[in-house]
Amino acid sequence: MSRVAVMGSGSWGTTFGIVLADAGASVTMWGRRETVCDEITLRHTNSAYLGDLPIPESVTATSDPGKALAGAGIVVLAVPSQSLRHTLADWADAVPSDAVLVSLMKGIELGSHRRMSEVIAETTGADPARVAVVSGPNLAREIARRQPTASVVASTGPDAADLVAHACSAPYFRPYTNTDVVGVELGGAVKNVIALAVGIAEGMGFGDNTKATLITRGLAETIRLGVALGADPVTFAGLAGMGDLVATCASPLSRNRTVGVALGQGHSPAEAMVVARTTAEGVKSCAPILELARANGVEMPITEAVVAIVHHGLPLGELGARLLGRPRKPEGI
């Protein structure tokens, strides 16, 4: 039986802990709040994030990171992407030297423009072949209800990817492996920005044609960035690309889409997160993604428009003209 530490007790971290336990792993979770950890261990729920959905009795939780990490063969990281480096640095001495490190995060670091797997390797000194990422159409509440889905486990080290895929292979959760870490991570990060754009369009009252256009052209700009950074374009046609993009843009369970709707209704970014009662990775990641694109000579007009709305106060009425008024060109990527 695999011994797994899940560092983070939010909705996705808790849900992935459920998947791991249902697949047969021994799971210890870490959370900042003692009350949440006690609830997970004693009541087998995490009501703040998953309501009354049951957590297996084999899952325990602690607010002591050393206890969670001790003896773990797999360490799953599920903290906010912008706090990963600082938080992981505090834990570095307690992380087992031979553990496979797994990122559940879908963001790009502010300032450095690093992907989360790069932050993990830099902070811990781990060989990148010992780092894996999990991404795909992974809406937490659906998976916590044991609804069928699939995902991708990517690592430059096939052994690491196989180990993690085996550990999370549950009756309702099918993991595929991939070596294209760049493509898998970029697909997960950029889709949050496109989901904000789709939500904004919905909040403004636009229909399915507009949303389908944003999803399709959003995929095109994701592929452009990915190819420029060495990703395999085929990755973006799979679960971590189109699969994750469609789920995040279409579902009312999507945090980024929900915040986007509030933005489209005229709320400021701060107000939108209050109205939506959630935070969204795309709000913070959109700017470093755009900076990364510009540094590599890649055009990302939808991402640029989202950044203009979120960070520079672009009036919503100017959004259509900005996107549709660009010079015409062939449809190709």
Tens digits of residue pLDDT in 177-202: 999 999 999 999 999 999 999 999 99
Of the given ranges (9-13, 114-118, 268-272), which has the lowest mean pLDDT? 268-272
| Inter-CA distances, 201 with 133, 218, 257, Å | 30, 13, 10
The structural domains of the chain, with segments of one domain joined by +, span: 3-179, 182-324
Cβ–Cβ < 8 Å for 26, 2: yes
Cβ–Cβ < 8 Å for 226, 243: no
Contacts of 214 (CB under 8 A, 6+ apart): 194, 197, 198, 201, 249, 302
Tens digits of residue pLDDT in 263-309: 999 999 999 988 888 778 899 999 999 999 999 999 999 999 999 99
DSSP states of 152-177 as a string? EEE-SSHHHHHHHHHHT-BTTEEEEE
Query: CA-CA distance, 128 to 126, in Å (whole number)?
Result: 6
Query: CA-CA distance, 167 to 172, in Å (whole number)?
Result: 13
Provide the pLDDT for residue 146: 97
What CATH number should be reported for the domain whose range is 3-179? 3.40.50.720
Question: How would you classify the pairing of strands 74-77 and 100-103?
Answer: parallel
Question: Comparing 110 with 319, which gets the higher pLDDT?
Answer: 110
Question: How would you classify the pairing of strands 26-30 and 60-62?
Answer: parallel
Query: CA-CA distance, 186 to 294, in Å (whole number)?
Result: 15
CATH for 182-324 (3.40.50.720, 3.30.420.40, 3.40.50.620, 1.10.1040.10): 1.10.1040.10
Question: Comparing 1 with 248, which gets the higher pLDDT?
Answer: 248
Confidence of residue 333 (pLDDT cuts 50, 70, 90): low
- Helix ranges, 158-300 (H): 158-167, 181-203, 208-228, 244-250, 255-264, 269-276, 281-295
Tens digits of residue pLDDT in 39-72: 999 999 999 999 999 999 999 999 999 999 999 9
Provide the pLDDT for residue 276: 80
DSSP 8-state assignment for residue 251? -
Catalytic annotation, residues:
191
Tens digits of residue pLDDT in 141-181: 999 999 999 999 999 999 999 999 999 999 999 999 999 99
